[in-house]
Each structure stands twice: as C-alpha cells, then as structure tokens.
A and B are shown apart, each in its own frame.
Chain A
Amino acid sequence: MSQTAVADSDTGLPLRELARRHGLGVAGRLPTLPEYTGKLWAYRHFIAYYANAKVTSSLGKTRLGSLWQVLTPLINAAVYYVIFGKILDTSRGIPNFVAYLCTGVFIFGFTQSVVQSGIQAISGNLGLIRALHFPRAALPLALTMVEVRNMFASIIVLMAIVLGFGEPLTLEWLLVVPIFLLQSIFNAGLAMAAARLGSKVADFKQLVPFIMRFWLYGSAVLYPVTKFQSALQDHPIALKIVEANPLLVFIDLMRHALLEEVPLASTPWLLWAEAIGWTLFVGIGGYIYFWRGEKGYGRG
C-alpha cells in the first residue's frame, strides 16, 4: 500500500472536524494579546539573561571589556568638546554649551542605537527563531535592555560632565529618573516596530541612517531649540510639528532637569504631557504592531 486516505479512515471525518473534536490547537496560531503578554512575562528571565549575554559577548573579545561601557560615552563627549568647545568655541547664546550639547547627543544616541539594533532583532536571529519557541518580542525587548544598560553608564558620565562644567547639583536632577524611564519605554516600542519593519522589508535597513540623520537635525541636538522658533516664525503649523518631535521633547526635559539656564521649546508642563503621550502611544502601539506580525517571523 502506498497511500493512506486523507481523511481519518476510522471515522470518515474531515481533518478539521477531527482536530476540533479532540481539542487540538492550530500550530503557530496567533495568541491573543493578553495571552501573549502573559507568555512574555514568563520569559522575563530569558530577556534579562539574553541582554546580559549580548553585552558580554559584544565586549568579550576586547581587552578593556566592560570598561567600554563608560569609555564609549566619554570619548563621544570628548569629540564634541574638542570641536565645539575648544576649536570653534561656539556658545550660540547658550551659557553652558558643552553641557547642553552633550545632553542632546547622549539622549539622542540612546534612541538611535535602540533603533539600529531593533531593526535587526528578527532578521539577525532567524536561527534562534526557527529553532525555539518563545514570544518573539523578547528579542527587541532584550536589545532595548542592552541599550538601557549602556545608557545607564552614559547618564552617570553625563552627570559628571555637567557637574564638571560648573552646573550645580539641584533637586531637579531627580527628574532624570522618570525621563529615563519614559524614554526607555518609548524606545522599546520603537525597537519592536523597527524589528517588524526590518523583518518584512530588508531595504528598510538601508534607509535607517538617513532617517536618523534627519531626526538628529530635527531634534535640536547640535544647536539651540530657539533656532527653530526664529527660522519658522511665519509657519506656525510647521513649528508646532517640529516642536512635538518626541526626541526634542525628551532632550529638552533632560536639559531642563540637569542645567540651570536653558532655552526650552515650550513650558515644562507641556513638555511633560507630550513626553507621556508619546511614550504611551509608541510603547503600546509598537507592542501591538509587533504582536500582530508574530506568526510570520519564522519566514524569510
């Protein structure tokens, strides 16, 4: 005999019916959002361990090892100090320009590196995805954790720089904690969205550097925010759009917390409202967007 009947020969039932009768689930079915969240929570140890392992393995071959976590932001800041603080000696109407600049560079760099690694979260781990079961959101989340850890070191360095350039230590510095938290959640959402986009369209990865460059110039990292106000005087709507940019909001808030005299895009209260709004929208939106694609991640 070379063929067995397609339907179950004993009962003559269609296969679909047979599966239903015995309560079999569809393999690779999309779980509901609460189910998925529960699964993800059960994998929290995996996420933490994976993030940890990623840091170790990325620095494993270097001689200085984890010292790089502190050295990288320090060198980064040194570059900007040499160019803008020493050579060009620009202040552009801002009292403490180097501290102002470093805050912007560090906060922007946090989101930038999360997007860059998030875009490859799925496409760079296909081996793992095709071999094992776990909620795929664990991957972009773990990569976000890696950057959160790096940013933690960066913030300490940043604080030292700001203090070193003569800013006083005030109670407002405590605001760094909620800002950091909001930006981390915002970044996690962004990483998940980028992961799905990157898994579907590989071309997207080529565009990311340009998108990030555009975003950098739109976030008033290298020059004061007031520059937009004077440049876009006659275009109030365009100005509103530029000033609603989430990264500009996070950078402004951080500058407001760490520095004494800074020009802001708008009042602190409005900035906080915008930051919370963006965090909720991108955090939840990115998660749902990623979850909707869960079934297709093994393909490719």
Chain B
Amino acid sequence: MADEREPTVIVDDAHITYRVQQSGSASSPLAGFKRIVTGAKPTILREVHAIKGVSFVAYKGEAIGLIGTNGSGKSTLLRAIAGLLPVEKGAIFASGQPSLLGVNAALMNDLPGERNVVLGCLAMGMSPAEVKPMVKEIIDFSGINERGDFSSLPMRTYSSGMAARLRFAISAAKKHDVLLIDEALATGDAKFRKRSEQRVRDLRAEAGTVFLVSHSEQSIRDTCERSVWLESGLIRADGPTDEVMKEYEAFVKK
C-alpha cells in the first residue's frame, strides 16, 4: 500500500534557470549607453533554461540513477534537490537535509590538506569535537599520504587526482538522510575507486535514498534499481534501470 512507501524526495514540476552575464563581444560604451536609453534587454544577459518542468517521487530505500547526455541537466537537478540552487517555478520537497556528495566542493588551495579537512568538516556542520578524531581517518582514506607527508603541504601542490580524492574523502565522512552523488565514483585510480565504491555502499546502507549521477553505465547498473533519463531538461524515461538503459543506449547510438 501507499503508506508503506514513504516518499523522501518529491520534485513537483521544477524549472531551473541559470542567468549568465556575458561580456559581449561587440559591446562598446556607446552600445551600452544606447541600451540603457532605449531600455532594450541587455543582450549580454542570457538565460539558460536548464530544467524545464520535471516531476517525480523518490521513496525511502531507493537508489536512483540519473542518466543523460552531457548538459542534459543532471547535475543541476541534483543541486536543486540539495537546495543549493533555487527553483524558478514549481517546488522540490525533501525529508531532512539532502547532501550533495560531489568532487567540486571548493576548498582553499593555499592551505595544507589537513586544514582543508577541518574546514570542510566544519562547513558540513560538524562540531570541532566531532572533527578532531575524523581528520586522520579522512586523510588515511583519501590515501594522499601514501607517497610521503602530503597532508601538511598546501593543496595547490597536489595533483588533480589527489585533490579530488581528498575532496571525496571529506564529503563522504558524514552520514546522510538523502545522499546525492555526482560523478564521485569516477575519481582517482583503480585502487581508490574500489575503496570509494565500498564507502558509497556503506553510506547507502545508512541513507534513506540515494541519487547517483554517472556516465558509467556499469556503476549505475550496479547500484541503482531505478533510473531517470533526462534529456535537455525533460524526463525522457523513468523506470527500472534495465528498461531505461536499453532506451538510452538506443538513443545514444543513433
């Protein structure tokens, strides 16, 4: 019955628009003045309608894969569910605070890895007492110290893989009700990937609902029983992963 399936995320006809301020190529002071006088809409302010009315319900215990070609709005949708991007129209409802597990969490490049770990944990809302015992664990998990003491060096000295691993390790250190994963599994070398996949499985076991954005069909098939296929901001298909994947593959091959 309906009461057994408890919804955790409800997306109700959501629209998301990015406003992009461009430095116009043919813009001169005179053109700018003319624009103000005539009241014309600035040509350099462009709107990108990234999500054009998406609706679905996610239930407790589900793992949902989001698939689609580049620029189809997958990451944008995740950010909106996390409440990090405002919706233009419609609404997104969620139980608790969904957390985005991304590799994009910007940290401070001039600071050593250790201090970035503390900063990241505090930014996720942990208390200093909670953070203290976590630091070593996070650094060990990220494996940045495998080649000497890198955790005390500034992050700008890290290779891109090392930095990405550290970011993933930081954001995976917290438990979540609704977990949103954006390409995080594609980070690092094979050894680290194995470890991070295990961590995601653990997090999944504790989280109510998991969303996964990935271009790797294998990782979607492995983790998600349900998939949503987004194409230019609209849902093309929503259903069991096998069926949606089949349609998606047929579409991509065209």
- Residues on A lying within 8 angstroms of B by beta carbon are 1-4, 6, 8, 10-11, 15-16, 18-19, 22-29, 42-43, 45-46, 49-50, 53-54, 56-58, 60-61, 125, 127-134, 202, 295-296, 298-300
B237 near A133: Cβ-Cβ < 8 Å? no
Indicate which residue in A24, A125, A134, A300 contacts B94 across the interface (CB closer than 8 Å).
Answer: A24
Q: In the complex, which residue of chain B has the Cβ closest to the Cβ of A54?
A: B108
B2 in contact (CB, < 8 A): yes
11 contacts between A and B (CB under 8 A): A3-B235, A15-B12, A16-B12, A18-B57, A19-B93, A45-B128, A50-B119, A61-B110, A131-B104, A132-B124, A133-B125
- Most chain B CB atoms below 10 A, which of A46, A54, A298: A46
Going nearest first, the 8 A-B pairs with the smallest beta carbon separation are A127-B106, A28-B83, A57-B110, A19-B93, A24-B93, A131-B105, A46-B122, A27-B83
| CA of A61 to CA of B235, assembled, Å | 49
Q: A-facing mask of B74-86, CB < 8 A → 1, else 0?
A: 0000011111111
B95 in contact (CB, < 8 A): yes
A134 near B125: Cβ-Cβ < 8 Å? yes
| CA of A300 to CA of B17, assembled, Å | 10
B164 in contact (CB, < 8 A): no
A2 near B83: Cβ-Cβ < 8 Å? no
B119 near A49: Cβ-Cβ < 8 Å? yes
Q: In the complex, which residue of chain A has the Cβ closest to the Cβ of B101?
A: A131
B19 near A300: Cβ-Cβ < 8 Å? yes
Q: Closest approach, in angstroms, between the C-beta of B182 and any C-beta of chain A?
A: 10
Indicate which residue in A3, A49, A299 contacts B238 across the interface (CB closer than 8 Å).
Answer: A3
B87 in contact (CB, < 8 A): yes
Q: How many residues of B contact A (CB 8 A)?
A: 61
B119 near A53: Cβ-Cβ < 8 Å? yes
Beyond the given pairs A127-B106, A299-B19, 11 more chain A to chain B contacts, judged by CB atoms under 8 angstroms and listed by A's residue number, are A1-B237, A3-B238, A8-B7, A15-B11, A15-B13, A19-B7, A27-B92, A45-B128, A49-B122, A56-B115, A132-B105
Q: Closest approach, in angstroms, between the C-beta of A16 and any C-beta of chain B?
A: 6
A28 near B55: Cβ-Cβ < 8 Å? no
A296 near B239: Cβ-Cβ < 8 Å? no
B151 in contact (CB, < 8 A): no
Q: In the complex, which residue of chain B has the Cβ closest to the Cβ of A39?
A: B125
| CA of A62 to CA of B190, assembled, Å | 38
B254 in contact (CB, < 8 A): no
| CA of A125 to CA of B105, assembled, Å | 11
Known contacts A43-B125, A50-B119; is A130 also within 8 Å of B2 by CB?
A: no
- B10 / chain A contacts, CB cutoff of 8 Å: 15, 18-19, 24
Q: Closest approach, in angstroms, between the C-beta of A3 and any C-beta of chain B?
A: 7
B84 near A15: Cβ-Cβ < 8 Å? no
- B83 / chain A contacts, CB cutoff of 8 Å: 27-29, 133
B122 near A130: Cβ-Cβ < 8 Å? no
Q: A-facing mask of B98-141, CB < 8 A → 1, else 0?
A: 11101011101111000100111011110110000000000000
A27 near B239: Cβ-Cβ < 8 Å? no
B57 near A15: Cβ-Cβ < 8 Å? yes
- A16 / chain B contacts, CB cutoff of 8 Å: 12, 91
A45 near B94: Cβ-Cβ < 8 Å? no
B85 near A25: Cβ-Cβ < 8 Å? no
B206 in contact (CB, < 8 A): no
- A43 / chain B contacts, CB cutoff of 8 Å: 122, 125
- B87 / chain A contacts, CB cutoff of 8 Å: 28
Q: In the complex, which residue of chain B has the Cβ closest to the Cβ of A134?
A: B123
B221 in contact (CB, < 8 A): no
B86 near A298: Cβ-Cβ < 8 Å? yes
